[in-house]
Structure 1
């Protein structure tokens, strides 16, 4: 996932949620912060830049000063590039203030002279609103068309860009009208293909090695055989935090095309899809358990009736005879 994270600022200065840039987030009443946590490589360079120059550039799009730093919080206090990922600090920068229904982003943060106002209701402040493919600044391009004036997106102001028009502007980044896999998905697919290639090439020797390595976890007498191995890729989401769809109809269709392309080699499953599958399994097992319980009760009633009939036919005891 992208290392840039957008989170809300609440009245107490804390954040009530944290989300990757590909997700929508709830926004607090005071403004928005941008959280930076590298997922690949170290983060010591951020501290070095802030101390040496008093400023830092993230993703070639966001420009922050030391005064914008809200907090450098734990995971841990380690600044070493070789430190464990859980021990690296999380950087939180003041990104926007919220007032009169707009998030106001100082132009200097986006590397332009124009302040940017984005309507608080209707557009979530996630990364794709600001950054196109190859870390191209979207608002830097817009600023060339509106030199010196505020850039307003959404709302009732006469000089604003309509939300629908801004959405269409973002969609222009599609490749000839098609959604393309993200870097993370493309890289994961390539990694899985290499795993499958080497696993198949390993042959009988690999089967013996795997059986030996995992023998203690296998039932007695069972050996591993490798025939047409298939990978499971679990990544990304297709739902927003409020449960609504996170993909457009065209995006969902293009994702399905990609999934079918690799169906013989791997199963690409978003986390939300995994949860839906688990829900269906739970419902199915619950229904089966309920049906089994009804069947057992029905069998018991049938057995009781047969026992009663047998007692009546055989005379039974005194109380049984009276009942018959």
Structure 2
């Protein structure tokens, strides 16, 4: 066993052992001039302060392991096989587990290899690791059980393709990791809740004011205003290009897409924005007991489908042409990609629809869901209201962490794309 004690501003390291007795330490010092104890402390006769007594060979062997400098005890780097000296505050209790983890893993060499200056533990030094943090770090060192589980999982991953195993060792290891307490950072959702609540509230107010006065907007003005809202609702898009060119290879003609959206990976999508005219979505009368799309909706769907068709056929050549065409408007080396583009249609109102009309309209939307997302202005309002309710709940929890907050309603549908 090992013990630490202070004598005259020095820390004395005391080593004792029942079997084999500590006498082996003296023999090692005589033979090689150096001895390593518990795989962490390396001593020479320069640090030795005890002497071998023939009549008491089992007496503890003592070394000077550190000396006081101000409020810290300095452990010389050579004693712990470090590149930098170690400083431990006088208020930190010195014990074996401070230096040695399970399976005799020496702790400070692991840390020393990751830093470029002396290590301070505890105290007020500006570079010191707080004692509580360091103690928590010690708990994170893998124990024997975890190491055995890890070894079994690694072996299992190799042999599972060739041998039948008694148990799923990889799954057992993952279950163990899931139960462990891992590092927990700041709750970013709570930190940004007030800003997000303000942002979506402003967007909702803006959208409602536009809808109340839509007659005063031209089609082009309406599209420009709404795009500002859309880009905040769809943050994955970082560029939007108006009248984007696309090649119709079948008719050997050039076409123009009203608005081309580019996401952060360079993938291109299409958006069509129509002013919210009444009754432009589905018929009031039924055809064979079904409300069917009006020409405005079916025509817009057809238009987007053709643009998607043109883009896909343009392929790699189109990527190169579009990237070159918008080079000055994008970040350096940014590439536009044509990878199964999708479309967004924003048009019409559904607040005046009957329940049957709304049901048939949902069928129509789902028919195109794999390629086109059809959104009415009332859908936008509803999504914004649900989003605001969710952020309000988060913000209330942040302001009143002990209070019980009623759950906000969850938005229907697939949420933001």
Please, what TM-score do these two structures have when normalized by structure 1?
A: 0.42
Normalising to structure 2: TM-score of the pair?
0.33
Quick check: which has more Rg, 1 or 2?
2
